[in-house]
Amino acid sequence: MDKLLRNKKAIIMFIAPAFILFTLVLLIPICKAVYYSFCNYKTLHPIKFTGVDNYVKLFTKDRAMRAALKNSIFFMVFSIITQFIMGLFLAALLTNIRAGRNLFKNIYYLPCVLSSAALGLLWMFIFTPKLGINQMMASFGWIADCTEGPQWLFNTEGFIILPIIVISFVALWQYVGQSMMLYMAQISGISSDIYEAAAIDGCTKSQAFFKITLPLIRPMIATAMSLNAIGSLKFFDLVYNMIPEGFLGDKAHVLATHMYTQAFKFNKLGYGCAIGVVLLVMCLVVTLLINKFVKVESYT
Amino acid sequence: MKMKKLLAIGLSMAMTLSMLAGCGGNTPATSAPAEPAAEDTAEAPAADTAEEPAAEDTAEAPAADGEVQEITFMVWDDLEASEDLITKGYKQSVDRFNKDFEGKYHCTPITTNLEEYYDKLNALVTAGETPDVFIASPGANLNDYATTGVAAKMDDYLNADGWKQTFTSDAVFAGGTYGDDGGDGPGIYAIPLNIAAACVFYNTEMFEDAGAEVPKTFSELLDACQKLQDKGYTPITISAGTAWCLSMVAGYLCDRNGLNLQDIKDHKTDWKDEKVIKAGKQIQELSKYFQKTAAGDDNDIATAAFYNGEAAILIQGSWAIGQINGSCAEGFADKVGVFAFPAVDGSSADPNRVIAKSDSLCMSASTQYPDAAVQLIKYFVDDTASKYTAEVGGKIPVTSVQYDEKVAPPELKYVMDVFKNASSTFGFYNESLYDTEAGSTFDNCFVDIFTGTDPEKALDPIQEYYEMNVW
């Protein structure tokens, strides 16, 4: 190993491809995006440096940005909490059963690998008044007519509007499998000796979960929470596909849809980059906070 | 050892190069393969309206012997799958072009849906891959391409061989004509293909059954809707999910109430003008007669509700004729009547103004093959295409073609009547405002009003937008 590490040329050669790729597709675009966020850059027009104008407008005058921030933060908090609870619950459940473990693992994980665009359309149909849930409610007699039921994707009243809440649950359904798999991987790595020793000492199943499992999977909790937070902050597909264009307005946007709309629909690439930079900073801050507050102890 | 080093270097280089290979390349925007170069490169027949213009002042790239000049055409519908008759006509034009110029020119269509059309077009333009020919609506969208040098000036081509004289009048070019703000100076930057007028389509059988009369005023329209509703019919089908449908009605109501968009632009009035507020309240009154699922229905579903006989009134552009006749049951077209959007009671505004819109084609200023692109555009407005536009598609042709009125859809005659009686035309509000964002904000405000928000409050976003960006 030492001999290998002394070979600087080999190290450089093996690092170079990843480094070049990272620089080309990530580092340079990020740096350019940060620069463009300080410019008035509209598609087809010359780029003009305008300092912090985009940011001032973003935080003081943009209604849609306020709604997008609110919705994205709600989405993130909801995802972190629900995916932690549900993911851990399912992982604990599946690691304790033998029959059908793989089957359920696949069932829960399947939505993760399906296209979000296709799932967005599917759920849009389910929540469209003429079809899906409202039709079912009408057939059970709970509502007089399918159009009388909740307007799942079109109700724009309230601090957090119904479409965002609905989409949060759909996202939970779609991505809980990912959290479950992460927790399962960590739980299966815990030595059975620890549980056996605890059982001999009179530890119950629930005590074992809270006193052994939970502390030992903390590193994965931090990782899963970071992934959930970043994923939910930059969430786009379901919101864009489920909410009709006219209802996105300035109430139903999340940061990613607002960025897309500004950059590609209204051709304001500089302004879109500013939203992207805000998103990037939020992702970094949230990741740092999670890593700071979810304490990871080493037992090795 | 030396061998190992060489192997390591070789593998590392292969890895790096294979990764970079994916990043480069100037591949065509579509995957359709170009037609193989034909051996016979003889002059193909020209379109039937005009000969190919002299190419002295064009910058056509010299093609190698036998090389087919491949051009792309971007349109807002799926040429292969669409049931829309106008879209089918576009496909026929492309097919005729490819057949007639086989071995010389070839056009590959780039298709997408309407909702994402401009997003994708802008992405291609930004990436330096502007389609050689692309469709655009006059207004804020076309402004972006004409004033920034993306679209080519067409005057030389139009004047080269009398092509311009085949059009009904110079007025048809109004939407695509720019002054000093044109990217290449004053001139025409878009060739119109057809004209559509926004009208009110109604089911004559349902009207007769309900005892409703064709309304001349807004209150008469509400009366007719009430009668239809009392008779158990859904009076109006409309889409609020596809925001421009609702905003088209809002545009009519604003205009009928006497709003002048230029006054707003010049800040002589603003979006809180009582005429706009009144239009908002009228939308709310009218929405009581919309189908209950108007919020969730998109434009296709809402239009289908009309031609499936589920609703009595459809407020739509005359392009709907192609959509209706492409999908409705036989005999339905005979039940359809058309009337102009009614006047607002007590308003002194001209009630005979009509919202009109034309599909227009632009040629990319950076096209390598301008002659091929111009030839393609000619195939969209030649006699064959223009006859099809009127006789099958039901849109108003822009050229002086003679078409058989007996063959044309009956609705076209009604639309022509509305159009002939119009004192003047105006554009869709969402395409006539300061820019596309202003148009979209206007759309969203009226969707908000439709959902029940007080018009005064719902108009805040467009008011603020103008305060920040226009005034």
What structural domains does chain A harbor?
Answer: 62-293 (1.10.3720.10)
Same domain? For B314 and B397 the reply is no
Cα separation values, B73 from A78, B309, B374, B434, Å? 45, 36, 11, 28
Whether residues B264 and B319 share a domain: the answer is yes
Write down the number of H helices and E strands in chain B: 19, 12
- Please indicate whether, in this complex, the C-beta atoms of A17 and B115 are within 8 angstroms of each other: no
Q: Which residue of chain A has the CA closest to B18?
A: A17
B245 within some domain: yes
Same domain as B232, residue B161? no
Claim to verify: residue B245 and residue B306 sit in the same structural domain: yes
CA distance A212 to chain B (A): 44
State residue B219's pLDDT score.
92
Are B448 and A249 within 8 A, CB to CB?
Answer: yes
Residue A19 sits at the chain B interface (C-beta within 8 Å): no
Segments in A205-267 forming alpha helices (H): 205-208, 214-216, 218-233, 237-242, 245-248, 255-260
Q: What's the first-to-final CA gap in chain A, in angstroms?
A: 22
Q: Which of B143, B468, B461, B427 is nearest to B276 (CA)?
A: B461
What was the pLDDT predicted at B397?
85
Question: Which residues on neighbouring strands pair with residue A268, listed in sequence order?
Answer: A42
B292 CB burial (10 A radius; 0-12, 13-18, 19+): middle
Of B118, B246, B444, the CB nearest to A249: B444
Cβ contacts of A268 on chain B, cutoff 8 Å = 437
User: Nearest CA to B336 among B415, B446, B421?
Assistant: B415
Below-50 pLDDT ranges, chain A = none
B19 part of a folded domain: no
pLDDT value, residue A78: 94
Give the domain range for residue B449: 198-356+421-469
CA angle B165, B168, B170 (to 5 degrees): 70
Nearest to A246 among B148, B241, B460 (CB): B241
The reply to whether B252 and B389 lie within a common domain is no
- The distance from CA B402 to its chain's CA centroid, rounded to whole angstroms, is 24
Q: Do B368 and B348 fall into the same domain?
A: no
Cβ–Cβ contact B150 with A under 8 A: yes
* C-beta atoms of B119 and A45 within 8 A: no
Rounded to whole angstroms, the maximal C-alpha distance in chain A is 78
The answer to whether residue B99 is domain-embedded is: yes
> Which residue of B lies nearest to A246 if distances are taken between CA atoms?
B243
Residues 6+ apart with CB under 8 A from A161: A71, A155, A251, A252
Q: The complex's ipTM?
A: 0.74
- Is B58 within a domain? no
Looking up residue B398, the CATH number of its domain turns out to be 3.40.190.10
Classify residue B416: in a domain, yes or no. no
- In this prediction, residue B440 carries a pLDDT of 87
Amino acid at position B12, single letter: S
Domain count within chain B:
2
Interface test with A, best of B7, B115, B451 (most A CBs within 10 A): B451
Q: Is B12 on the interface with A (CB under 8 A)?
A: yes
Is B215 found in the same domain as B75? no
List the single best residue of A25, A42, A154 to mutate versus B (max B Cβ within 10 A).
Answer: A154
Contact B446, B246 (CB under 8 A): yes
Please check whether residues B428 and B309 belong to one and the same domain. yes
Residues of A in contact with B20 (CB under 8 A): 20, 24
CA distance B406 to B391: 8
Size of interface A-B (CB pairs under 8 A): 105
Phi, psi of A243 (to 5 degrees): -95, 125
Task: Identify whether residues B268 and B238 lie together within a single domain.
Answer: yes
Rounded to whole angstroms, the Cα distance separating A5 from A11 reads 7
Chain A's closest residue to B240, CA to CA, is A246
Chain B CB contacts of A29 under 8 Å are none
Contact flag A245-B241 (C-beta cutoff 8 Å): yes
Q: Are residues B222 and B266 in the same domain?
A: yes
Rounded-to-integer distance, Cα B13 and Cα A185, Å: 36
- Are A266 and B468 in contact (CB < 8 Å)? no
- Residues on chain A touching B460 (C-beta within 8 angstroms): 63
User: At which of B411, B434, B452 does a domain end?
Assistant: B411
- Residue B20 in any domain: the answer is no
Domain end among B392, B411, B430: B411
Query: Does residue B8 sit within a domain?
Result: no
Residue B50 lies inside a defined structural domain of this protein: no
Return the residue in B114, B119, B125, B184 with the most chain A beta carbons within 10 A, the one to mutate for interface testing. Answer: B119
Residue B417 touches chain A, beta carbons under 8 Å: no
Asked if A128 lies within 8 A of B19 by C-beta distance, the reply is no
CA distance B220 to chain A (A): 27
Map tokens 């149909």 to a residue: A125
Low-confidence ranges of chain B (pLDDT < 70): 1-3, 7-8, 11-12, 14-66, 326-329
Q: Which of B122, B144, B148 sits opposite A264 (nearest CB)?
A: B122
Q: Are residues B352 and B224 in the same domain?
A: yes
CB distance A265–B243 less than 8 Å?
no
Is this prediction's pTM over 0.90? no
Return all residues near B376 (Cβ < 8 A) that are at least 6 apart.
B71, B73, B93, B94, B97, B105, B107, B132, B133
Residue B368 Cα to chain centre, angstroms: 26
Q: Examine the domain organization and report whether B243 and B332 are in the same domain.
A: yes
CB-CB: which of B8, B125, B440 is closest to A44? B125
Chain A residue with the nearest C-alpha to that of B468: A61
Which residues of chain A neighbour B444 with C-beta distances below 8 Å?
Answer: 246, 248-250
